[in-house]
Amino acid sequence: MSSVLSSAVRVLSLIAALAVSVPALAADPTAAARCQLPRGASALSVPLPQLSQRIAAGAPIRIVAIGSSSTAGAGASSPDKAYPARLAHYLGERFRSADIAVLNRGINGETDDQTEKRIAADALDARPDLVIWQVGANTVLRDGDQTLSERSVRRGVERLRGAGIDVVLMDLQYAPKMLEKTGVVPMLSRIAGIATDQHIGLFRRFDVMRTLVETRGMTMADLIGPDGVHQNDVGYDCVARMLAVGIEDAVSIHNSGLRR
């Protein structure tokens, strides 16, 4: 009898573990279909000249995605569900003749000053055409030093720009634990200020995710996992889908300018 009871306990434990590991939105197969916004919602605000020239020339494209856990893919069910892998998929759909690789250089738990220290090894050494740097999240979540974060991002961006690399900053995720923090608005303002001052792209992830919730009938559970911080599979997929639109439009803007 004890062996039967023990087996039953093990089965129940396995079921509970699976329930935690499967994203809540998996029960809603229409969630991904609702991840649609007007094109302007994902605008990066600047062209991407290096990337655009490489695409026009038919040259191989290398993109580095760098940042912390929502770049690494915490909360995704597998590495191919993290946003960099999904971005590669959607860019491949939009630029079918291009050979595009998106390298995932995210490290869980990092703050911007830590990421800035590995810009050379994990971004510059890869000789990318575009770097997408996801910034600010852990500083806000830990009530950290936003001045240090801003200074570090500015230094990193200057190094990347000095090497002739296109740069896009990705701001905070729209998530329950993030919304509890008073530092959200100041950090969003700092990130936008860096993008404006440095004339680089800005992917407004926070606004994109918020708009999906407010106008497309999605819920936080559709986009964010049980920990209240990290995106789940559909959340990463939505971000990648919208970012791909922004990149495509930035390339089109650059090419349109050349034809004038």
Q: Which residue, among 116, 120, 139, has the nearest Cα to 128 in the 3D structure? A: 120
Q: For residue 202, which of 46, 87, 61 has the smallest C-alpha distance?
A: 46
User: Which tens digits make up the pLDDT trace of 49-80?
Assistant: 999 999 999 999 999 999 999 999 999 999 99
End-to-end CA distance of the chain: 82
C-alpha distances (whole Å) from 185 to each of 23, 146, 160, 207 are: 28, 11, 26, 12
Distance in angstroms (rounded) separating the CA atoms of residues 145 and 212: 30
Mean pLDDT over the full length of the chain: 88
pLDDT in tens, 215-250: 998 999 999 999 999 999 999 999 999 999 999 999
Over residues 136-156, the pLDDT tens digits come to 999 999 999 999 999 999 999
Tens-place pLDDT, residues 175-221: 999 999 999 999 999 999 999 999 999 999 999 999 999 999 899 99
Please compute Rg for the chain using Cα positions. Answer: 19
pLDDT score for 29 = 54
Return the percentage of the chain with pLDDT > 70, whole number: 85
Q: Given pLDDT bands bounded at 50, 70 and 90, which one contains residue 174?
A: very high
Looking at residue 188, its pLDDT comes to 98
DSSP result, the chain: -HHHHHHHHHHHHHHHHHHHHS-GGGG-TTTGGG----GGGG--SS--HHHHHHHHHT--EEEEEEESHHHHTTT-SSGGGSHHHHHHHHHHHHSTTS-EEEEEEE-TT--HHHHHHTHHHHTGGG--SEEEEE-SHHHHHTT--HHHHHHHHHHHHHHHHHTT-EEEEE-----HHHHT-TTHHHHHHHHHHHHHHHT-EEE-HHHHHHHHHHHS---HHHHB-TTSSSB-HHHHHHHHHHHHHHHHHHHHHHHHHHH-
Confidence of residue 33 (pLDDT cuts 50, 70, 90): confident
Q: Please give the average per-residue pLDDT across 151-177, as a whole number.
A: 98
- Which pLDDT does position 164 carry in this prediction? 97
